[in-house]
Structure 1
Amino acid sequence: MDFQAILKTVGILSLVSAALSVIISIAEGVLNNYGIVELDINNGKKKLQVKGGSSLLSTLASEKIFIPSACGGKATCGLCKVSVQEGAGPLLMTEEPYITPEERKQNMRLSCQIKVKTNMKLLIPEALFNIREFICELVEIEDMTYDIKRLRMKLPEGQTIDFKAGQFMQFYTKPYGKVKEEVFRAYSISSKATEKDHLELLIRLVPNGICTTYVHTVLKVGDKVRLSGPYGDFYLRGDCEELIMIAGGSGLAPIRSLVYDVIEKGLPHKMRFFFGANTLRDLYYVDEFEQIEKDYPQFKFIPCLARPEPSDNWQGVTGFVTVALQDQVDTGEGKEAYLCGSPGMLDACIKILKEKGFTDETIFYDKF
């Protein structure tokens, strides 16, 4: 085959490839163009005309109806459940691990996984219509440890927020670097529930985490921050004499808010806070909790280091937080447990708590 023939062949292939690309693009436009569809919410109480093609989670958010989601729509948290009476199609494999047999009878679905393609009928808890969006100003950013930052945000002038200590907010990034789209993640509120014009979050840097990298490398004081919330069922029940609180890393956030809630309301509960970390440099808010311990005899702070360095000169509890829990909590009688941390830590702690007589009705946790 001579050189001209080769060029001709390459040219023909290029034209064919370009034509196929155009055909595919047109086909995608036609196939994904679902037009305007209707969302009927709570038996006609609210009807929305929306553009089809996006996930139910993002479609509702665009209409200022915010469904809880800790993972940003990746189908890894299972929080974004809504009851879809019509128009959802068959249950997807990505949903199956999160939908119980009882929930299937109720037509519960993960709103992040369902694409809005046709008219739908939904049942959404009325409480979610109280979820609000806030465009805040970042007024403080502080390094609490080498990988945890404290963000303090001021709500817009004249706006306030009511939340229960222990609840969380959804934090939205802006496009940055190679990240071209907005993403969001859930972070527990660490500030006092009585402080209604500011919010504080504790955010740990996750390697390659889109949202946490944005917080740790891009965000600066004075920036506008978009939040929605509050969300969550992790809050004080208090039908007991003593609260056993357990956290690790940035899981300290909701526990801090809960501790101040008990104190500011003058509640009589005893509190023991077991905080797990690896080394001394992973501990933070130590001075604050030790001062609370001095001022309020009903509160006890128990930091635990799993792998203290020789230079730490650590004199406290050594070992995982489960060691202290096993040694220092004798029974679940008259107690409630509140936990926030990694799935592995929570699973290990819950196992010990149940062995000591705690039940599903007396153990409350956030597992992000």
Structure 2
Amino acid sequence: MGEKHIVRFEPVGIEIEVDEDQNILRAAAENGVQLMHGCKEGQCAACKSFVLEGDMDDIELDKYSTFALPDSEREEGQTLLCRAHAYSDLVIELLQYDEEIIRSGLPLKKGVAEVVSNESVTHDMRHLVLKLIEPEEIKFFPGQYLDITVPGTDESRSFSMANVPGREGVFEFVIKIYPDGLFSEFLDKKVQIGDRLDVEGPFGTFTLRESRTSPIIFVGGGAGMAPVLGLLRSMAERGTDRKPIFYYGGRRSRDLCFEKELRELEEKIPGFRYVPALSEPAGDDEWDGEVGLITDVVERLEPDLKGRDAYVCGPPPMVDAALAKLTALGVLEANIFYDKFTTTGEPEGEDSP
């Protein structure tokens, strides 16, 4: 371990001790401080912050994408907390934070989980179910994700949980299979029932803000089904009355999954509607539902979204398009919560929170 330094976060006034060998985001999580973040790989910019006090030369950054932190922004004093190592005391201004979430962090835990099932739910997505072997429990909030170590490597991949927390210690994931993806290859061709995997979590801030009562619009695509399904299951279980609607996009009908359960949730959650859409339906799809990019469908059917909260989860192009559409339709930026799936030098979406 290296030397330790004090990092203070403003405007929330929280101080933590950070080891030089840790990035600041990791140190905050270990101290129960839930900072806004997404990929943890320096690609999504969710944890971008401004250095108010401290020498920029005393901040060392691990490898990151200049799309997330352009050189001009770094020169102005901005940094990525998931990549930043502090070599002196610092004061950091959080550019994105949530008062309700920041002090509600659950302790990070490492564990071992056993593969219970690995079933195809579309032509290119799997429903992976794990059961925790040790420790006895890893607590999480619906919508959060776990890191899973790829067997035989030091690499880990992040995947959102589709289930609600329970004493059974079960974790469900909806994972897209990509050609030559490191975890995809394992999941597609090598995993066996009973295999044990190293996991760690929880991570992520794609969780329901309990203090809010606004109606909710969910927008998702691909493996973005997982965290939204987790949130909807939680709302049904707890009897939440926030009149959610879920817009989910695929190219063809073979890209849709959990249709039966989502229709059943329409009966369980007051005011809930599920609206799937296909962007490229073919004749054999026999499709009579919505057609078009999911963001265009939202714009067509929801001309006024003032007063809503929005949750968006999926690949970066969809998320970026959704953010622009939702704000144009009246959703306040502060009330839009999103997980943008990023990559680690692999096909888009492999590292899907």
TM-score range, shorter chain: 0.7 to 0.9
Q: Within 5 Å, give how 1:34-73 maps onto structure 2.
A: 37-40=2-5, 56-57=22-23, 73=41
Identity among equivalent positions (%) equals 26
1:333 and 2:306 matched: yes
Q: TM-score, normalised by structure 1?
A: 0.73
Q: Match of 1:153?
A: 130
CA distance in 1, matches of 2:302, 2:316: 21
Q: Which residue of 1 aligns with 2:147?
A: 170
- For residues 295 and 92 of structure 1, the distance between their equivalents in structure 2, rounded to whole angstroms, comes to 46
* Alpha-carbon displacement from aligned partner over 1:310-346 (angstroms, at most 9, x marks no partner): 0111111111112320122131223111110111111
Per-residue CA deviations over 1:136-179 (Å, capped at 9, x if unaligned) read 1111111111211111111126712322211111111122xxxx
> Which of 180, 183, 186 is the aligned partner of 2:155?
183
Larger Rg: 1
Deviations 1:260-319 (A, max 9, x none): 111211111101111101111111101111122234452111110111120111111111
Structure 2 SS opposite 1:308: coil
Mapped partners of 1:81, 1:323: distance in 2: 29
1:190 counterpart SS class: coil
Contact 1:85 1:107 in 2 (8 A): no
Query: C-alpha distance in 2, partners of 1:325/1:366?
Result: 18
Q: 2:197 aligns with which of 222, 225, 230?
A: 225
Alignment match of 1:260 (pick from 233, 237, 241):
233
1:199 Cα offset (Å) = 0.8
Q: 2:120 is matched by which residue type in structure 1?
A: D
Q: Does structure 1 residue 77 correspond to structure 2 residue 54?
A: no
**Aligned-partner Cα distance in 1 for 2:181–2:31:** 26
**Counterpart selection for 2:264 from 291, 296, 302:** 291
- Please name the residue that 1:29 is paired with: none
Alignment match, 1:135: 112
| 1:250 equivalenced with 2:223 (yes/no) | yes
Structure 2 equivalent of residue 271 of structure 1 = 244
Cα distance change, pair 69–174 in 1 and its aligned pair in 2 (3 A): farther
The AA in structure 1 aligned to 2:138 is I
Q: Is the 8 A contact 2:141 2:164 kept in 1?
A: no
What is the CA distance between 1:133 and its match in structure 2?
0.9
Partner Cα distance (1:302, 1:47) in 2: 45
Distance 1:56 1:161, change over 3 A: closer
* Distance change in 2, residues 1:92/1:184 (3 Å): closer
CA shift in 2, pair 1:256/1:88, >3 Å: same
C-alpha contact 2:177 2:184 (8 A) present in aligned 1 = yes
Per-residue deviation, 1:89: 4.8
Report whether the alignment pairs 1:348 with 2:321. yes
CA distance in 2, matches of 1:194, 1:361: 30
Partner of 1:31: none
CA distance in 2, matches of 1:226, 1:65: 22
Q: CA deviation at 1:80?
A: 6.9
Provide the rounded CA distance (Å) in 1 between the counterparts of 2:36 and 2:155: 14
Q: Compared with structure 1, are the counterparts of its residues 222 and 94 closer, same or farther at alpha carbon in structure 2 (3 Å cutoff)?
A: closer
Stretches of structure 2 that go unaligned for 5 or more consecutive residues are: 9-14, 93-101, 342-353
Provide the rounded CA distance (Å) in 1 between the counterparts of 2:302 and 2:168. 35
Pair 1:207–1:68, CA change in 2 (3 A): farther
**Aligned-partner SS, 1:337:** strand
1:297-312 matched pairs, under 5 angstroms: 297-312=270-285
Q: 1-side partners of 2:335 and 2:18: how far apart?
A: 39
Q: CA deviation at 1:189?
A: 0.9
Q: 1:198: which partner in 2?
A: 170
Deviation at 1:38, TM superposition (A): 2.6
User: How far apart, CA to CA, are the structure 1 residues paired with 2:334 and 2:165?
Assistant: 24
- Partner Cα distance (2:23, 2:184) in 1: 22
Which amino acid is 1:200 matched to?
Answer: E
In 2, Cα distance between equivalents of 1:98 and 1:223: 36
Give the residue type in structure 1 aligned to 2:329.
K
In structure 1, the residue matched to 2:288 is 315
| Aligned-partner Cα distance in 2 for 1:247–1:172 | 26
CA contact 1:153–1:199 (8 Å) conserved in 2: yes
Aligned to 1:18: none
Report the Cα offset of residue 92 of structure 1.
Answer: 7.9
Higher RCO structure (Cα 8 Å, ≥6 apart): 2
* 8 Å contact kept, 1:95–1:109: no
CA contact (8 A) 1:151 1:201 kept: yes
Give CA-to-partner distance per residue, 1:4-44, whole Å, 9 cap, x none: xxxxxxxxxxxxxxxxxxxxxxxxxxxxxxxx743446699
Please tell me the residue identity of whatever aligns with 1:229: G
Q: CA distance change for structure 1 residues 349 and 108 in 2, over 3 Å: closer, same or farther?
A: closer
- The match for 2:180 is 208
- Number of residue pairs aligned between Structure 1 and Structure 2: 318
Cα-Cα RMSD: 3.8
Secondary structure (helix, strand or coil) at the match of 1:214 reads helix
Q: Say if 1:68 and 1:88 are closer, same or farther in 2 by CA, change over 3 A.
A: farther
Name the CA distance, whole Å, in 2 between partners of 1:333 and 1:72: 31
